[in-house]
């Protein structure tokens, strides 16, 4: 039985599948050629990440397909309900990348409060000729400890973000439509742990109280954070979006940054991927990464192994 991992899969995932007699194909097939390739090669399972889509048209064109898997959390690039209505298994790996996304959030937060995103642009150009000037420009950093971190979307990833925030001494608050309270357990290297219960609050309360906002929500039809939401945030606050493009109004974000209402922003996802707006890419108050929240070696291994385990269970 053949599995096409069109956006790649870790070697540990390949090994787990081949051990159970699956033939794993890692050729990257262009979207417009995908249906033909699946049919010609009698592919039973299609694995995707964010680059490949599995829409109704592809599902209809591939009657031999038995499973579609998403390496990651969000499945907005798959017509899930339609696939299930056609008898296909649809799987994902909701827990595998949580820690990696959470660590990226804090990479952006630490970089933002110490101007690293901008300093790393300026130092190669001016470090030799304007060292003192740059030192003065970046000398008014801040600490995260003691500040309030607001998490919007308090599922697996949001709770992983909370663990790090609690661990470094932040006051963590959260908003979530579907969760009233969650117990977050911070585990130390020696096995000791502390459990903290966090009751969720309204979105407006979190916006008003937070020094930093981190978004962890699925794709939406409308913006979660728009001009009105930015106006409710503290002056000098900052925001990180490592969830989905389109949940933040990027035009309103630029306005909030340029007015000085926000101190900085960090974006790992964008409305127009893979071609983000140039105003975002060139803005000196935005820390940027190219949708790499889950892109750690450890997360990729967990994703591959979790997909393999589900495929072995469903298709063997």
Give the pairing type, strands 193-199 and 181-187: antiparallel
Does residue 316 surpass a pLDDT of 90? no
Residues 135 and 165 in one domain: yes
Residues 155 and 234 in one domain: yes
Q: Give per-residue pLDDT as tens, 224-265.
A: 999 999 999 999 999 999 999 999 999 999 999 999 999 999
Residues 153 and 220 in one domain: yes
Of 216, 244, 283, 302, the active-site residue reads 244
Of 201, 208, 273, 277, the active-site residue reads 273
Residue 253 CB contacts under 8 Å (≥ 6 apart), including other chains: 225, 230, 239, 262, 265, 280
Q: Give per-residue pLDDT as tens, 100-157.
A: 999 999 999 999 999 999 999 999 999 999 999 999 999 999 999 999 999 999 999 9
Q: Give per-residue pLDDT as tens, 219-230.
A: 889 999 999 999
Q: Which is more confidently placed, 181 or 221?
A: 181
Q: How many angstroms separate the most distant Cα atoms in the chain? A: 66
What is the CATH number for 22? 3.40.50.720
Residues 69 and 136 in one domain: no
| Cα gap 64→43, rounded to integer Å | 7
Determine if the peptide bond prior to 255 is cis (ω within 30°).
no
Q: Give per-residue pLDDT as tens, 67-107.
A: 999 998 889 899 999 999 999 999 999 889 999 999 999 99
Residues 59 and 171 in one domain: no
User: Which residues constitute the domain of residue 76?
Assistant: 2-94+297-315
| Cα gap 190→200, rounded to integer Å | 30
Active site residue 291: yes
Number of structural domains found in the chain: 2
Residue 182 CB contacts under 8 Å (≥ 6 apart), including other chains: 154, 159, 174, 197, 198, 200
Whose tokens are 């949940």? That residue is 247
Phi, psi of 16 (to 5 degrees): -65, -30
63-72: which pairs have CB atoms within 8 A and are 24 or more residues apart? Answer: 64/38, 64/39, 65/38, 66/315, 67/91, 67/311, 67/314, 67/315, 69/45, 69/307, 69/310, 69/311, 71/7, 71/9, 71/47, 71/96, 71/294, 71/303, 71/304, 71/307, 72/96, 72/97, 72/294, 72/303
| Cα gap 47→69, rounded to integer Å | 5
pLDDT at 73: 84
Does residue 292 surpass a pLDDT of 90? yes
Residues 158 and 86 in one domain: no
pLDDT at 74: 82
Residues 284 and 305 in one domain: no
| Cα gap 209→150, rounded to integer Å | 8
* CA distances (Å), origin 10, targets 47, 167, 197, 257, 293: 12, 30, 35, 39, 16
| Cα gap 15→275, rounded to integer Å | 35
Mean pLDDT, range 32-58, rounded to an integer: 97
Of 49, 108, 156, 291, the active-site residue reads 291
pLDDT at 246: 95
* CA distances (Å), origin 191, targets 32, 143, 228: 50, 27, 44
pLDDT at 50: 85
Residues 179 and 167 in one domain: yes
Of the candidates 170, 168, 120, 121, the residue with the CA atom closest to the CA atom of residue 150: 170
Residues 149 and 253 in one domain: yes
| Cα gap 22→212, rounded to integer Å | 46
Residues 9 and 74 in one domain: yes
Active site residue 55: no
Residues 102 and 192 in one domain: yes
pLDDT at 47: 98
pLDDT at 147: 98
Mean pLDDT, range 21-46, rounded to an integer: 97
Instruction: Extract the tokens encoding 108.
Output: 């952006």
Of the candidates 9, 44, 50, 10, the residue with the CA atom closest to the CA atom of residue 31: 50
Whose tokens are 């949580």? That residue is 98
Residues 24 and 78 in one domain: yes
Active site residue 89: no
């Amino acid at each position: 039985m053949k599995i096409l991992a069109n956006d790649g899969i870790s070697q540990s995932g390949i090994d787990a599948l081949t051990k159970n007699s699956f033939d794993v194909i890692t050729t990257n097939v262009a979207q417009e050629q995908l249906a033909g390739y699946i049919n010609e090669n009698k592919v039973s399972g299609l694995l995707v990440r964010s680059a490949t889509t599995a829409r109704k048209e592809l599902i209809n064109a591939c009657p031999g397909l038995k499973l579609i898997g998403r390496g990651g959390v969000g499945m907005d690039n798959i017509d899930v309900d339609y696939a299930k209505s056609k008898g296909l298994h649809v799987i994902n790996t909701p827990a595998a990348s949580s820690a990696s996304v959470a660590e990226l959030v804090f990479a952006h937060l630490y970089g933002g409060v110490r101007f690293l995103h901008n300093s790393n642009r300026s130092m190669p150009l001016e470090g030799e000729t304007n060292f003192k000037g740059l030192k003065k420009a970046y000398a008014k950093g801040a600490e995260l400890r003691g500040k309030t971190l607001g998490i919007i979307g308090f599922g697996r990833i949001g709770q992983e973000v909370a663990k790090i925030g609690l661990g470094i001494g932040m006051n963590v608050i959260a908003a979530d439509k579907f969760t009233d309270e969650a117990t977050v357990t911070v585990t130390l290297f020696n096995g000791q742990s502390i459990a903290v219960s966090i009751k969720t609050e309204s979105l407006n309360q979190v916006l008003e109280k937070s020094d930093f906002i981190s978004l962890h929500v699925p794709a939406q039809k409308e913006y979660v954070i728009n001009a009105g939401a930015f106006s409710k945030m503290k002056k000098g606050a900052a925001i990180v979006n490592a969830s989905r493009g389109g949940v933040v109004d990027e035009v309103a974000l630029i306005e909030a940054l340029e007015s000085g209402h926000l101190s900085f922003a960090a974006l790992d996802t964008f409305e127009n991927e893979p071609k983000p707006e140039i105003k975002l890419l060139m803005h000196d108050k935005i820390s940027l990464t190219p949708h790499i929240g889950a892109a750690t070696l450890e997360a990729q291994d967990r994703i591959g192994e979790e997909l393999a385990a589900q495929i072995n269970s469903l298709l063997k």
